[in-house]
Amino acid sequence: MTTANSQKRKKILFVDDDQAFLETIEQLFAMWGNNSWDIFLAHNTGKALAILQQQPVDLVVIDMRMPVVDGMQLLRLLNRKYPHLAKAMLTGSADDATRADCLQNGAELYLEKPTSVQGMENVFSTLDELTNLRPQEGFRGVLRRVGLQEVLQLECLGRKSSVLEVTGAGRRGKIFIREGDIIHAQIGEIKGEPAFNRLMSIEGGDFALKPFNEPPEQTINSQWEMLIMEAARVKDEVPESLEDSAAETAAQESAAELAATPEAMARSRPASVPAGGPVKPAGKILMPSLLEPHTEEVLICSLKGDVLYEWQCPEAEGRIKLTDFLNKKAAELTASLPLGKLERVEAALSPGRMVIKFQGDTALLVRSDKGASEAAPLAKAA
């Protein structure tokens, strides 16, 4: 007999430092999900990233208030590393400003943390509905991680029909693909191949692959291979002033983001993106203000030596060796002295401070240019 289990199982990851809350969620949601939910639990950011590294999930539900890396920082991080991933935020005290901040940073939902079974059931229903909606809406991507060109090639090679909506650098447009042929493009009043070339010149932004609908007219008849090659040629000739102007427009629209150099952006790439990969910013580009103003460097690594995330960490290999050394030495010390488990190591630098937090199989390293130094000693700074 077929049951509800025949439908696709949903993989939901909950991130919360409150173990009791996680256990309650696991029990209740598994029951209400009628065995159609695979629930993953993470009590900190490192664990959440490790789970995401191992397997894709349909939805991540994040508690706003967590130590070390709070929910908002994790949301921003996930929004950059997994832009396609549905994200929902839970908070004990909702307010409009934080709600807006969460939604702006990629959260689909901003919900009050339930304190009753009835409240839990409401949250469950909302999350369940969210996971039902997403497959019908296409997917979202970020051009700096997946090239627009690659998406087009996949659609055309697969002889698919779709509409690619592209937004970036203050521009928005559409490319219509019918059975593998690019038949129309439009950006503002510009149509046809000039519009296609303009859209393909956008270096950073968002796209959404939508179900195909007939365009108002067919303005392109060339083969897609030729179109992509021509767009690449034209792109090289786009005046830098145009890129700067567009970026400035986008910068004005996004007060929460800051202008950064291409070098900084390249350094800020997620660990999974190779240095020579699709990250290819030109002119001014935008980088989310992920961390506190004085943060200089962030590294999240597994204790096996894998980089899970790095931000402005040019010496990642050295940092991992250092982290590994400190962790191993701590284990030696705890073997002979009643110290308990290592929580973190704090180091005073000249100037600044470095903190390496150990949790489970992962370590989080943060270096800031303010904090402890000779003038502001370590114990007081902590």
Partner 1 sequence: MNSEFNSWLKENTAFPGVLACGLRYPDKTTFSHSYAAEFATDKLEPAWRTAVEAFQTSKQSKQSFSRLRWVFDKALFHCAVRGDGVCLGIFTSKGTQEPSAESVDRLFAEFQAFRA
Enumerate binding residues for partner 1 (CB under 8 A). Answer: 315, 318-319, 321-322, 325-326, 329-330, 332-334, 336-350, 354, 367, 372-374, 377-380, 382
Q: Which is nearer to partner 1, 174 or 367 (CB)?
A: 367
Q: Which is nearer to partner 1, 91 or 362 (CB)?
A: 362
Residue 249's SS3 state is helix
44 burial via Cβ count (<10 Å: 0-12, 13-18, 19+): buried
Measured N-to-C along each axis, helices 192-200 and 224-237 cross at an angle, to the nearest 10 degrees, of 60
> In the complex, what is the shortest distance from the CB of residue 363 to partner 1, in angstroms, rounded to a whole number?
13
Q: Which is nearer to partner 1, 127 or 300 (CB)?
A: 300
> Which amino acid, one-letter code, is at 139?
F
Residues 6+ apart with CB under 8 A from 248: 284
Q: Which is nearer to partner 1, 236 or 343 (CB)?
A: 343
> In the complex, what is the shortest distance from the CB of residue 318 to partner 1, in angstroms, rounded to a whole number?
4
Question: Which tokens in the block code for residue 85?
Answer: 């991933």
> In the complex, what is the shortest distance from the CB of residue 342 to partner 1, in angstroms, rounded to a whole number?
6
> Which amino acid, one-letter code, is at 122?
N
Q: Which is nearer to partner 1, 131 or 362 (CB)?
A: 362
> In the complex, what is the shortest distance from the CB of residue 289 to partner 1, in angstroms, rounded to a whole number?
24
Q: Which is nearer to partner 1, 167 or 312 (CB)?
A: 312
Per DSSP bridges, beta strands 10-15 and 59-63 are parallel
DSSP class of residue 58 equals S
CA distance 225 to 240: 26
Q: Which is nearer to partner 1, 19 or 125 (CB)?
A: 19
> In the complex, what is the shortest distance from the CB of residue 81 to partner 1, in angstroms, rounded to a whole number?
25
Q: Which is nearer to partner 1, 51 or 330 (CB)?
A: 330
> In the complex, what is the shortest distance from the CB of residue 321 to partner 1, in angstroms, rounded to a whole number?
6
> In the complex, what is the shortest distance from the CB of residue 317 to partner 1, in angstroms, rounded to a whole number?
9
Q: From the CA atom positions of the chain, what is the Rg in Å?
A: 23
Measured N-to-C along each axis, helices 19-32 and 117-133 cross at an angle, to the nearest 10 degrees, of 60
For CA atoms 325, 328, 329, 330, give the dihedral sign. Answer: positive
- Residue given tokens 């519009």 in the structure block: 195
CA distance 97 to 113: 17
Q: Assess contact for 262 and 282: CB atoms under 8 A.
A: yes
Buried b (16+ CB within 10 A) or exposed e, 95-131: eeebbebbeebbbbbbbebbeeeeebeebbeebbebb
> In the complex, what is the shortest distance from the CB of residue 291 to partner 1, in angstroms, rounded to a whole number?
18
End-to-end CA distance of the chain: 61
Query: Of 366, 341, 360, nearest to 303 (Cα)?
Result: 360
CA distance 107 to 81: 14
> In the complex, what is the shortest distance from the CB of residue 373 to partner 1, in angstroms, rounded to a whole number?
8
Q: Which is nearer to partner 1, 282 or 326 (CB)?
A: 326
| 196, HSE (Cβ side, Cα atoms, 13 Å) | 29
> In the complex, what is the shortest distance from the CB of residue 170 to partner 1, in angstroms, rounded to a whole number?
40
Q: Which is nearer to partner 1, 242 or 339 (CB)?
A: 339
- Residue given tokens 């049951």 in the structure block: 3
